[in-house]
Structure 1
């Protein structure tokens, strides 16, 4: 039973918290731990002893029905965010992203709150604050992370009885939910113009870079920057370092050209590293003969371990790719005459590609997916596998990509090129001049020596 004590004008009530004091070894003793209060709210005193007594009864009822959260189990949001973040197993880039969102938004907002003090009303206020202050995508990601925090606080760490995020059924006027963004139509002529612009900016390497994304669906920039010589079609699968994989791949792709998506590359702590592809989507991409010939020409023009190198022959990861490559390719640029001293940097005017206005280079990957869907007779499992996706449900478990499916993809993509580019009379550049014999006959490095973070 609660105990009420009056001292002058103050009234205080004590009740058992449901816990016991601990001894020196941290084991519970028989001595009960009590909590107390001098009012129902901070700064508001009890009006009389009956109110205090009833308040104590309610707290003891919470203890009996396990609705209370003893002070020893309370944890501040800042401490919880730090402990939660340390418990995660993330890739380097995801680690930086999560840490940034916690530090920039979640921890400052909830700094004065305990985990179990956050109510649905408080969460709604937080949601309004975030959605008004930040962009749609950023606020969506922050709120999604906060939901993970609260779910773990309830299920995993038992710091709350239930989440403050209440999902309600729709009320009011119906609004259709947009499940996918409406894309502008992207004709082959527009992709060709991007490739022409890339040739103006970057030479034959740029021309091949654009068509590689468009006809393989490889993810830019990570997978494209991380494509190494040894995993490109002129060398793979003969250069495959795993003997078992090499033997199987040589037999399977004896009559086909294929490149291997084995890594992506990005900066981690200002250092270039190799990591597994997004979602661990290692895959082999069969490619049409015209693209294989482009890769042969690109790799014959340099001796670096990367398939695609910068204008100066360095890693693309060392460049400001958007500003110096993609934006001029997409948005066009004025004529540049640098005079006799910097003659090699001169270039003609570059037209903008209106269909790609404001779009990311990732749009070419979407174009590839749409192209594979057009004929209607390429199995879905082959398309999704090529995109680095997994089919859900039974279809994903029992389906597999066969050689016949890959041959169908190669034949179809080659016909697209011959009909929509060559047959349409669109411009194609001459292949680069062959290199001197001593360089061609040399053994260039097949793989990069970057630190490998394949399993982070």
Structure 2
């Protein structure tokens, strides 16, 4: 009997999947697409039967109750799974997409969507880094976002950066930290792209301002077992991509806190009493035109804003407290002890504003995309661009072409120039910043 007539998709998965030697994150993605989407529909099908009705796979992809991108990835996984069954169990791959089939317009739309990436200019990247630092209250976030924008490093490579790989004029990308199911594993960069990254003077200065710390991981084997890293959260833990996006990156880029569980999307309100760009205050719901606004109560109360209900901000400790009948602030708990209130009149309301969007839809990976046009505009040689981004130069060109010191010097000078131009543009918006490290960098522009 021909063995191809009796092998089912489930049986083939049980043979194929254990033989894979891929990144843990890739295996986890494959497992998801196989268990959630492929096997429920085709698990009992014989492989040979799929060859007879490839249109069933097309219909399955279209009918998946997920986004178009997820459906495409599910089919791509199915294609990879069946590829290795050729020629032993299949004569062709019924999941492979046929070139030239389908609506031309739709294919062009999908291609345009894939090519359309949000990326940031040097000034936008600087403002984005400033906002992230304001939201977190930490200078390290300004340095991390600036490093991402001016090196093109991947998110996992940023997390894996340690002080031992930093020296004047150069970073070495040797490791990455990738998040998987709430844990972090340490591995080599994507596609083995270990590489040097030339660092301009301003970036050397920024990185020297961040104090390395040890994480609290207790993993074994490939999992992070604890080590010294440059970019960690305030509690000594690694940044989780989704959490960082919700708390810092999306509000900084969009000017809105994204919807999170039952909490609706909310605008980022800032205290502009001390000038641009304002200091973020706890989020409030968005006001709707024509609808009377009712301030929130309980958790999430904006304590620096007068509520109009017998409360006001104390001019001594800056906390919102109850008022006496004569409109003076009563004694209360303040910073580090008891505040008498001083018998003073309450402080004025905080002047509030909303952040406008910077680059809607950008992601941390979008900072990597923005680094490419920086190099293109500066005329950086292709072979040095490829090395810096961790890409492989194909063919003989990649075999014999090598970056020269002259190329590296020109790149460093160009990046330094772009940074100084962005700083000058930021100084024209306002000569001070609530972010300490940026405020120090703006000092020469104030003197001018």
Cα gap change, 1:424/1:404 in structure 2, threshold over 3 Å: closer, same or farther?
A: same
Q: Determine if the alignment matches structure 1 residue 384 to structure 2 residue 390.
A: no
Alignment of 1:24-39 (within 5 A): none
Cα gap change, 1:153/1:350 in structure 2, threshold over 3 Å: closer, same or farther?
A: farther
Please list every run of 5 or more consecutive structure 2 residues that lacks an aligned counterpart in the other structure. 216-227, 256-267, 270-280, 283-301, 305-318, 320-332, 337-349, 441-448
Per-residue deviation, 1:366: 0.7
- 2:134 aligned residue: 200
Q: 1:273 aligns with which of 185, 190, 195?
A: 185
The answer as to whether partners of 1:261 and 1:285 remain within 8 angstroms in 2 is yes
Give the whole-Å Cα distance in 1 for the aligned partners of 2:149 and 2:158: 12
Give the whole-Å Cα distance in 2 for the aligned partners of 1:350 and 1:231: 41
Q: Determine if the alignment matches structure 1 residue 161 to structure 2 residue 101.
A: no
After TM superposition, the score normalised by the length of structure 2 is: 0.67
Q: 1:191 aligns with which of 110, 113, 125?
A: 125
SS in 2 for 1:119: helix
Q: CA offsets per residue over residues 180-233 of structure 1, 9 Å max, x none?
A: 52345743332222122022123211111111111000111x111111121133
Give the whole-Å Cα distance in 1 for the aligned partners of 2:244 and 2:170: 26
Per-residue deviation, 1:350: 8.0
Per-residue deviation, 1:295: 0.7
Cα gap change, 1:200/1:350 in structure 2, threshold over 3 Å: closer, same or farther?
A: farther
- 1:364 aligned residue: 367
SS in 1 for 2:172: strand
- 2:311 aligned residue: none
Cα gap change, 1:118/1:343 in structure 2, threshold over 3 Å: closer, same or farther?
A: farther
Per-residue deviation, 1:371: 0.5
Q: Determine if the alignment matches structure 1 residue 109 to structure 2 residue 41.
A: yes
Per-residue deviation, 1:268: 4.2
Q: 1:425 aligns with which of 406, 424, 427?
A: 427
Q: Determine if the alignment matches structure 1 residue 328 to structure 2 residue 260.
A: no
Cα gap change, 1:109/1:318 in structure 2, threshold over 3 Å: closer, same or farther?
A: closer
Give the whole-Å Cα distance in 2 for the aligned partners of 1:318 and 1:364: 14
Q: CA offsets per residue over residues 45-90 of structure 1, 9 Å max, x none?
A: xxxxxxxxxxxxxxxxxxxxxxxx258x621111111211111111
Please list every run of 5 or more consecutive structure 1 residues that lacks an aligned counterpart in the other structure. 1-16, 18-68, 234-255, 435-456
The answer as to whether partners of 1:188 and 1:421 remain within 8 angstroms in 2 is no
Per-residue deviation, 1:112: 2.2
Pairs aligned (count) = 336
- 2:411 aligned residue: 409
Per-residue deviation, 1:101: 0.8
Cα gap change, 1:296/1:150 in structure 2, threshold over 3 Å: closer, same or farther?
A: same
Per-residue deviation, 1:154: 1.5
Cα gap change, 1:351/1:183 in structure 2, threshold over 3 Å: closer, same or farther?
A: farther
Give the whole-Å Cα distance in 1 for the aligned partners of 2:208 and 2:86: 56
Higher alpha-carbon Rg? 1
After TM superposition, the score normalised by the length of structure 1 is: 0.66
SS in 2 for 1:274: strand
Give the whole-Å Cα distance in 2 for the aligned partners of 1:200 and 1:113: 55
Q: CA offsets per residue over residues 280-299 of structure 1, 9 Å max, x none?
A: 11111111101110111112
Q: Determine if the alignment matches structure 1 residue 170 to structure 2 residue 100.
A: yes
- 2:299 aligned residue: none
Cα gap change, 1:323/1:424 in structure 2, threshold over 3 Å: closer, same or farther?
A: closer
Per-residue deviation, 1:418: 1.5
- 1:374 aligned residue: 377
